[in-house]
């Protein structure tokens, strides 16, 4: 996908297979176990068009982030690209939007997984809560020992969950009925837009692995390959599962708390809900595992760059484990979960709050790509193609953009207070990202160091 040449290793240890698995886990994740029902509720069978739209958009979006990640492998990910393109304020805003979107997203994901376990074993809200807490504990422990272990675990999970999903689709399709597609758009064609806004949750993740690019053995070669494989796997599975749920469950898909479990039940009988619960746990763990790993690296990079307290810095170098940043992310995730349980709020608002933040990250990331990638290259055109789709998703997110606006205000206030506390001195720019490369024709050369001015402008030197 990315038009980058092979370059020497930066020092990481992730393989293409492990990177593909992390991508699949991050993007496939909990969307496939919960979002088909929410989308069907919003738009009926026409929600399939929303799925198709997001699959089509995800390919150039994934290519854009792969191109940026292979050229500038750094733990800061999209925050680093934003700094290089627009300066430290944009970097802080993007970093905060991502970092503080993970805790509420993790809470929603854990609750989705808990709902499937409850559907299989009963126990009501207590089962959901206990399952969610255990998921967070296990994911935190896995990432405590480093991204290489997380990658190995993810590779094993990816094979199992893909098998689960294919089995559920193949065995349930004989029970499909054409009548389940009538009426095709019960809430009108305009309902496809809100359905697409919900489904953004299912496709966030292409940016998550940018924080782990320096952990790949050869980012310029391995990252585009992992991205291409993940786009194919994720797109095919999402469309297959969404189609099967509509075709087999019909109108009941919109009210199912565990639609994948209902699909298994139709295919194999009621006891198959155990299998669906197992698949849901694997999917939930995979998504949380990838996001915890990415957020932990990002937090360390934000500490390094002055957008968060400096004591978070440890862990930015490839091979280091950012345990301090991981601990903060885990604590905030538990806090979000307990707040949701205490308030009795369902996952839907959490999904939209989280996706509002990620769409904001996408918007700034794509804008940075247009400025940083070689003009009119294949990857530059991939970024250009996604601009309209990202703007559409921003509009569809609507009132839930309030959350990233609040986070933006908090990030800028933190920078202002930090500057005042330091006597008006500006932040130390991170300079050139270690190991980054720039493309010139068919060759790879060291990228110029990027200096930032007090106004946030950048210049090569």
List pLDDT tens digits, range 408-421. 999 999 988 888 77
Query: Rounded to an integer, what distance in angstroms lies between the CA atom of residue 319 and that of residue 370?
Result: 30
Render pLDDT for 140-171 as a digit per residue (tens, 0 to 9).
888 887 655 555 666 666 777 777 778 878 88
* Beta bridge pairs of residue 451: 459
Question: For the purposes of burial, counting CB atoms within 10 Å of the CB of 3, is it exposed (0-12), middle (13-18) or buried (19 or more)?
Answer: middle
Q: Average pLDDT for residues 118-144, to the nearest whole number? A: 86
424 — pLDDT class (breaks 50, 70, 90): low
Tell me which range, 75-84, 87-96, 174-183, is most confidently predicted by mean pLDDT: 87-96
Q: Domain for residue 146, yes or no? A: yes
For the cut 70, the answer to whether the pLDDT of residue 224 exceeds it is yes
**pTM exceeds cut of 0.95:** no
Range of the domain at 333: 16-429
Inside any domain, residue 141 = yes
86 inside domain? yes
How far is Cα 461 from Cα 220, in angstroms, rounded to an integer?
A: 23
pLDDT, tens only, 85-96: 999 899 999 889
Contact, 124 vs 330, CB < 8 A? no
- The distance in angstroms from the start CA to the end CA of the chain is 29
Phi, psi for residue 75 in degrees, rounded to 5: -65, -20
Task: Give the CATH number, domain containing residue 157.
Answer: 1.20.1740.10
What is the rounded average pLDDT of the residues 320-327? Answer: 84
Confidence of residue 369 (pLDDT cuts 50, 70, 90): very high
pLDDT of residue 202: 67
Residue 195: which pLDDT band, with cuts at 50, 70 and 90? confident
- 443, part of any domain: no
Residues 6 or more apart from 417 whose CB is under 8 A from it? none
Residue 206 is assigned to a structural domain of this protein: yes
Average pLDDT over residues 421-441: 46
Query: What is the Rg, in whole angstroms, of the alpha carbon atoms belonging to the chain?
Result: 21
> Which helix (H) or strand (E) element contains residue 446?
strand 443-446
The pair phi, psi for residue 115, each rounded to 5°, is -65, -35
Question: Does 434 map to a domain?
Answer: no
pLDDT at 146: 61
Is the residue at 151 inside a domain?
Answer: yes
- Residues 230, 20: contact at Cβ < 8 Å? yes
Reported confidence tier of residue 454, pLDDT bands at 50, 70, 90? very low
Look over the chain and give the mean of its residue pLDDT values, rounded to a whole number: 77
* Structural domains counted in the chain: 1
Give the pLDDT band of residue 301 (cuts 50, 70, 90). confident
pLDDT of residue 387 exceeding 80, the answer is yes
Under 8 Å between Cβ of 359 and 394: yes
Q: Please state, in angstroms and rounded to a whole number, the distance separating the CA atoms of residues 461 and 459.
A: 6
Helical H segments across 313-346, by residue range: 323-343
Domain-located, residue 281: yes
């Amino acid at each position: 996908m990315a038009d980058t040449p092979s370059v020497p290793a930066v020092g990481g240890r992730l393989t293409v297979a492990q990177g593909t698995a992390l991508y699949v886990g991050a993007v496939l994740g909990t969307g496939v176990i919960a979002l088909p029902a929410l989308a069907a509720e919003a738009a009926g069978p026409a929600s399939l068009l929303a799925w198709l739209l997001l699959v089509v958009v995800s390919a150039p979006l994934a290519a854009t982030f792969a191109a940026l990640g292979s050229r500038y492998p750094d733990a800061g990910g999209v925050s680093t690209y934003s700094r290089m393109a627009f300066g430290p304020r944009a970097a802080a805003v993007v970093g905060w939007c991502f970092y503080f979107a993970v805790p509420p997203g993790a809470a929603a994901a854990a609750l989705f997984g808990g709902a499937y376990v409850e559907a299989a074993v009963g126990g009501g809200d207590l089962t959901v809560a206990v399952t969610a807490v255990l998921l967070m504990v296990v994911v935190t422990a896995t990432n405590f020992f480093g991204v290489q272990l997380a990658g190995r675990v993810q590779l094993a999970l990816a094979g199992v969950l893909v098998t689960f999903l294919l089995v559920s689709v193949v065995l349930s399709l004989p029970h499909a009925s054409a009548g389940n597609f009538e009426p095709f758009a019960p809430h009108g064609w305009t309902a496809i837009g809100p359905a697409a806004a919900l489904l953004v949750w299912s496709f966030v993740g292409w940016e998550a692995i940018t924080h782990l690019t320096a952990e790949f053995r050869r980012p310029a070669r391995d990252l585009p390959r992992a991205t291409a494989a993940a786009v194919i796997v994720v797109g095919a599975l999402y469309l297959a599962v969404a189609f099967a749920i509509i075709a087999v469950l019909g109108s009941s898909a919109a009210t199912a708390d565990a639609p994948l479990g209902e699909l298994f039940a139709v295919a194999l009988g009621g006891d198959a809900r155990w299998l669906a619960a197992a698949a849901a746990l694997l999917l939930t763990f995979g998504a949380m595992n990838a996001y915890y790993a990415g957020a932990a690296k990002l937090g360390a990079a934000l500490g390094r760059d002055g957008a968060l307290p400096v004591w978070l810095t440890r862990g930015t170098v490839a091979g280091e484990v950012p345990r301090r940043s991981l601990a903060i992310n885990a604590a905030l995730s538990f806090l979000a979960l307990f707040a949701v349980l205490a308030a009795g709020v369902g996952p839907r608002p959490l999904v939209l709050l989280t996706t509002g933040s990620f769409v904001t990250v996408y918007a700034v990331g794509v804008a940075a790509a247009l400025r940083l990638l070689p003009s009119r290259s294949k990857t530059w055109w991939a970024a250009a193609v996604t601009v309209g789709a990202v703007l559409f998703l921003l509009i569809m997110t609507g009132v839930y953009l309030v959350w990233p606006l609040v986070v933006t205000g908090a990030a800028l206030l933190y920078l202002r207070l930090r500057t005042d506390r330091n006597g008006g001195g500006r932040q130390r720019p991170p300079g050139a990202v270690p190991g980054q490369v720039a493309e010139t024709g068919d060759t790879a050369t060291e990228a110029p160091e990027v200096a930032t001015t007090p106004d946030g402008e950048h210049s090569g030197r």
